[in-house]
Amino acid sequence: DKFKDGLSKTRDSFVGAMNDLMKDYRTVDEDFFEELEDILISADVGVHTVMDLIEQLKDEARLRNIKDAKDIQPVISEKLAEMLQKSANEAAINEQPGELTVILFVGVNGVGKTTSIGKLAHQYKEEGKKVVMAAGDTFRAGAIEQLEKWGERVGVDVVKQQAGSDPAAVMYDAIQSARSKKADVLLCDTAGRLQNKVNLMNELSKVKRVLGREIPDAPHEVLLVLDATTGQNAMSQAKAFQEATDVTGIVLTKLDGTAKGGIVLAIRYELDIPVKLVGLGEGMNDLQPFDATQYVHGLFA
């Protein structure tokens, strides 16, 4: 079970704290809820999310006449799952069956963008789909080569130009190449230099314009890649990218590397963007579609 393995650090600290809480408190009273609040906040769940959750739990405890602390645990799982998934199937990638699906990846350097693109390319290939990758980060030294390495590793063609060239021109080439190969999926890397937000915003909108001119609905997804180990930094990156472009989903990487996996809730609930994929390890198969039930199960089970 990938979620259970990937969330083991979070589960160890979360379940440990919850067990202590249950030992200390037999009844659900104000103090119980206050301590629960602290546990959730220290797991990076996010202050607003925690406050809403605690309110809902208090209401439920009253409605269902729950007095025993042990009986509140299933209600916590239930509420967490509800808050994580606002609609069924929201984690699905918007694929265009029989046509070219274009997915744009955005995110700052080091978050795991190239790795996630490579892993997803591998998975689509395993499903029998034809994949092309576009080396749209023409700015960072080594970015093109890194994507090419993934291309070799998973057996997928990479469309590139030389370093410093116009990313929009790379995208134009990539669309032509994907079309001539009758590809199913085009995965596009982009630059992640958030230090100059106006520049990045212009670059991303030009890239999107070029893609949209060639294929009316493209890009079909704009996936923002965030590193789960960076906590509040990930939250502020998300806000900045939301201002720069229309983000349609989140890829949350390195969940396996943090004990604060509650960040998934903060992202989903406070930013109102669905988490579509999660990185649960460094291997090619360690990128998984997000599943709220499995996630919550991974926290407690």
For residues 267 and 238, the answer to whether their CB atoms sit within 8 Å is yes
162 backbone φψ class: left, alpha, beta (φ>0; ψ -120 to 50): beta
Q: List the one residue from 102, 111, 159, 218 that touches ligand GDP (CB under 6 A).
A: 111
Q: List the one residue from 115, 237, 258, 288 that touches ligand GDP (CB under 6 A).
A: 115
Q: How far is the CB of 272 from ligand GDP (least distance, A)?
A: 23
| Site membership for ligand GDP, residue 16 (CB under 6 A) | no
| Site membership for ligand GDP, residue 276 (CB under 6 A) | no
Question: What is the spatial distance between Cα 227 and Cα 258, in angstroms, rounded to a whole number?
Answer: 10
Q: How far is the CB of 267 from ligand GDP (least distance, A)?
A: 15
User: Residue 167: is the preceding peptide bond cis (ω within 30°)?
Assistant: no
Q: Using CB under 6 A, which of the segments 162-170, 178-186, 199-207, 277-285 binds ligand GDP? A: 277-285
Query: Hey, CA dihedral for 190, 193, 194, 200, is it positive or negative?
Result: negative
Question: What is the spatial distance between Cα 95 and Cα 76, in angstroms, rounded to a whole number?
Answer: 33
Binding site annotation covers 293?
no
Pick 57 or 143: Cβ nearer ligand GDP: 143
Q: How far is the CB of 60 from ligand GDP (least distance, A)?
A: 34
Binding site annotation covers 113?
yes
For residues 134 and 159, the answer to whether their CB atoms sit within 8 Å is yes
Q: How far is the CB of 224 from ligand GDP (least distance, A)?
A: 11
The helix (H) or strand (E) run that includes residue 299 is helix 292-300
Residues forming contacts to ligand GDP in the complex (CB under 6 A) are: 107, 109-115, 253-254, 256-257, 279-282, 286
